[in-house]
C-alpha cells in the first residue's frame, strides 16, 4: 500500500437532494428549524457533549476518514465544529450553503460508527451529534438524493428497495423452489403462526441477494428450527429513515416489523447478517416507540449461528480451507459485543483464521455504514478514498495469508467490495452464511 489515498476531490459534489434541497430555504426557515430541533428534541445529552469537549483532537486518529486523508476537517471534532457548533454559536443563523455542507458532512463523511467515542477521554458520542445534524437537515429538506429515495421507498412499501408486496412473496416461493432442487422437502413457511423464529431480512436480499434467503432456509431446515417468514410488509428490518433523520418514519417501520412478529405470535426475531438493521430494531427504532428493549427478542445471525453450533444443531461436513479474515461490523460489535461469538463461529467453520488489526471493538468501519453507501454514486470516491485505513488493514491481513474476507453485514459488504476493487486487494468477500452453507451437513433436521 505504498501510494497514499489522498485523491478526494475538493470541488463540490453535485447531489440533486442537496443542491435542489437548499433552493427554497430562507434564513428564517433555517433558524426556526435549527432552534426547534435543538430546543424540542435535544436536552442534557447534547448540552453535556457540547460543554464537555475540550477540543483535544484525540478523536482524530479514531476516524478512518481522518486517518486516510490526514485533514483536520475529517476529524470527528472537526465535523462537529463545521456543523453543530456553528449552528449553536450562531443560534441557527446560518446560510443555505452552510446547511448543504453540513448535510454532506453529516451524511457522507461520518459513518456514525462510534469508534471515536472510545478514543474520546469523555466518551462523547459524535455519532449522536451527527444524527442531530441529519435530523435538522431532514427537517429542512436537504438530504442526499439516493438515501432520501430509499427513505421514500421505506415510507411507501415498508422496505428500502421498492419491492412490492407480491414480489416479496413470489421471491420467497421462488427461493423455496430453488432450494427444493437440493433438499426436496425444504420449506420456507409463510405466515405460520406460533413459530419459534420469525426470520427477517433487509430489502436488498429479495432484490439482489436472494441466495441468502435460500441459504438461511437450508440452515433453518438442517437445524430443525420451527420458523416462519411474514407474507406482509414488516418483513424488512432495515431502516434508512433512521439515518436520514426521519425519526417518525423510523418508528413507523419498526412498529410494522415488530407487529408482524407479534401478529404471528413468534417467540423471537432472528435477523440476517445486517448491522444497521440491528441498530434500528435493537436500539433506536424500538426506543423511539417507547419500548425500552425490543418487545420481541431480537437475535442477530451471528448469535444465532453461535447458538446452533454450541447446541450441536448445525454440523460441518468439512471445514472451509481457504484462510479467512474477519471484519467486525460496528453496529453489532461496538453496538452489541458479538465479536467473540463471531470468532467462535468462524473457528467452527474455517480451517485457518487470520486476525485483522485492529480488531473487535477497535476495528475500523467499512465506511459504508451509517447510510453513507446509501448516499450513492456521487459520494462513492470520497467514501472509498476515505477508507485507505481499511485497505491497509485488509492488505496486512492478506500479507499474513488471508484470502477470504468475511463481513457479516450487508452494508459492510457493499463498502468492502468497493475497497477491495479500488485498492486491488484481490480478496474474496463472503457472508458467514455463505461459508456455513457451503460447509454444513444439509437436510438433516427437516420435519413436516
Partner 1 sequence: MHDSSNWDWDIGKKQIADIGKWKDMFEWVEEPCASPDGEKVAAVVKTGDMEFSVCQNGAAWENTFDKVWHLRFSPDNRLAGLVSDMGEWTVAVDEQAWESRFEFVWNPQFSRDGSGITVAAQKERKYFGVINDVPWEKGFFHITNLATSLDGKQTAAAIQTVPFSEGEIFKFQEGCYSVAVNGKTWDRNFINVWDMAFSHDHEHVAAEVRTSLYDYTIAVDGVPWNETFLSVWKPRFSPEDGSVTAPVRIGGKWTLARNGKQIWNSSFAQLWHHIYSPDGKKLAAIVAPEFGKWTVAVDDIPWRHTFGDLAADPVFSPDGKRVACVGKEKEKWTVCVNGEPWNSMSDMAWKPVFSPDSKHVAAKVEKNGHYTIIMDGQALKNDFEAVWDPVFSPDGEKILIRGIEGKGDDAKYCREVLSLKK
Residues that bind partner 1 (CB under 8 A): 16-17, 20, 40-41, 138-139, 141, 145-146, 148-149, 152-153, 155-158, 162, 164-166, 169-170, 173, 185, 187, 189-194, 231-233, 246, 248, 251-252, 255, 262, 265, 267, 287, 289-293, 295, 297, 448
Supply the minimum distance, in Å, between the C-beta of residue 155 and partner 1. 5
| Smaller CB separation from partner 1, 81 or 268 | 268
Q: Which three cell numbers stand for residue 316?
A: 460441518
Secondary structure string (H, E, C) spanning 375-410: HCHHHHHHHHHCCHHHHHHHHHHHHCCCCEEECCCH
Separation of alpha carbons 159 and 153, rounded Å: 6
| Smaller CB separation from partner 1, 103 or 145 | 145
Angle at the Cα of 364 (from 363 to 370), degrees rounded to 5? Answer: 115
| Smaller CB separation from partner 1, 298 or 345 | 298
Supply the minimum distance, in Å, between the C-beta of residue 255 and partner 1. 8
Separation of alpha carbons 377 and 357, rounded Å: 29
Separation of alpha carbons 201 and 207, rounded Å: 11
SS3 of 228, please?
A: strand
Supply the minimum distance, in Å, between the C-beta of residue 249 and partner 1. 9
Supply the minimum distance, in Å, between the C-beta of residue 332 and partner 1. 21
| Smaller CB separation from partner 1, 86 or 307 | 307
| Smaller CB separation from partner 1, 82 or 280 | 280
Supply the minimum distance, in Å, between the C-beta of residue 76 and partner 1. 28
Identify the helix (H) or strand (E) that includes residue 197: strand 197-200
Phi, psi of 288 (to 5 degrees): -60, -30
Supply the minimum distance, in Å, between the C-beta of residue 247 and partner 1. 9
| Smaller CB separation from partner 1, 195 or 394 | 195
Separation of alpha carbons 204 and 161, rounded Å: 6
Supply the minimum distance, in Å, between the C-beta of residue 178 and partner 1. 13
Are residues 113 and 334 in contact, defined by beta-carbon separation less than 8 angstroms?
yes
Residue 207: Cβ within 10 Å count: 16
| Smaller CB separation from partner 1, 285 or 329 | 285
Amino acid at each position: 500500500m505504498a501510494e497514499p489515498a489522498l485523491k478526494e476531490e475538493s470541488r463540490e459534489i453535485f447531489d440533486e437532494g442537496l443542491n435542489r434541497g437548499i433552493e427554497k430555504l430562507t434564513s428564517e426557515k433555517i433558524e426556526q428549524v435549527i432552534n426547534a430541533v435543538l430546543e424540542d428534541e435535544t436536552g442534557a445529552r447534547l448540552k453535556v457533549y457540547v460543554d464537555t469537549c475540550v477540543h483535544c483532537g484525540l478523536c482524530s486518529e479514531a476516524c478512518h476518514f481522518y486517518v486516510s486523508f490526514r485533514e483536520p476537517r475529517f476529524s470527528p471534532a472537526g465535523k462537529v465544529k463545521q456543523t453543530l457548533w456553528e449552528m449553536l454559536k450562531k443560534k441557527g443563523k446560518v446560510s443555505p450553503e452552510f446547511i448543504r455542507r453540513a448535510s454532506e458532512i453529516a451524511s457522507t463523511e461520518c459513518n456514525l460508527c462510534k469508534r471515536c467515542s472510545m478514543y474520546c477521554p469523555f466518551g462523547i458520542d459524535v455519532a449522536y451529534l451527527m444524527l442531530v445534524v441529519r435530523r435538522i437537515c431532514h427537517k429542512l429538506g436537504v438530504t442526499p438524493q439516493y438515501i432520501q429515495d430509499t427513505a421514500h421507498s421505506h415510507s411507501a412499501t415498508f422496505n428500502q428497495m421498492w419491492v412490492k408486496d407480491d414480489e416479496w412473496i413470489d421471491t420467497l416461493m421462488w427461493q423455496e423452489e430453488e432450494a427444493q432442487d437440493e433438499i426436496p422437502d425444504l420449506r420456507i413457511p409463510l405466515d405460520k403462526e406460533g413459530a419459534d423464529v420469525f426470520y427477517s431480512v433487509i430489502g436488498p436480499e429479495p432484490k439482489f441477494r436472494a441466495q441468502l434467503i435460500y441459504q438461511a432456509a437450508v440452515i433453518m431446515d438442517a437445524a430443525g428450527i420451527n420458523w416462519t417468514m411474514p407474507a406482509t410488509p414488516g418483513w424488512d428490518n432495515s431502516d434508512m429513515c433512521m439515518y436520514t433523520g426521519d425519526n417518525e418514519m423510523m418508528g413507523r417501520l419498526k412498529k410494522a416489523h415488530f407487529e408482524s412478529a407479534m401478529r404471528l405470535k413468534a417467540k423471537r426475531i432472528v435477523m440476517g447478517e445486517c448491522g444497521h438493521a440491528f441498530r434500528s430494531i435493537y436500539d433506536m427504532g424500538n426506543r423511539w416507540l417507547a419500548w425500552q428493549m425490543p418487545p420481541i427478542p431480537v437475535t442477530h445471525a451471528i448469535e444465532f449461528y453461535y447458538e446452533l453450533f454450541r447446541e450441536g444443531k448445525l454440523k460441518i461436513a468439512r471445514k472451509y480451507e481457504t484462510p479467512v479474515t474477519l471484519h467486525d461490523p460496528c453496529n453489532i460489535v461496538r453496538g452489541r459485543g458479538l465479536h467473540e461469538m463471531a470468532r467462535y463461529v468462524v473457528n467452527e467453520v474455517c480451517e485457518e483464521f487470520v486476525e485483522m488489526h485492529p480488531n473487535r471493538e477497535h476495528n475500523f468501519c467499512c465506511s459504508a455504514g451509517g447510510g453513507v453507501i446509501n448516499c450513492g454514486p456521487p459520494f462513492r470516491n470520497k467514501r472509498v478514498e476515505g477508507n485507505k485505513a481499511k485497505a491497509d488493514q485488509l492488505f496486512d491481513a492478506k500479507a499474513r495469508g488471508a484470502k477470504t474476507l468475511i463481513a457479516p453485514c450487508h452494508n459492510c459488504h457493499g463498502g468492502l467490495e468497493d475497497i477491495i476493487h479500488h485498492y486491488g486487494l484481490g480478496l474474496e468477500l463472503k457472508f458467514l452464511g455463505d461459508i456455513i452453507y457451503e460447509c454444513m451437513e444439509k437436510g438433516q433436521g427437516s420435519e413436516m
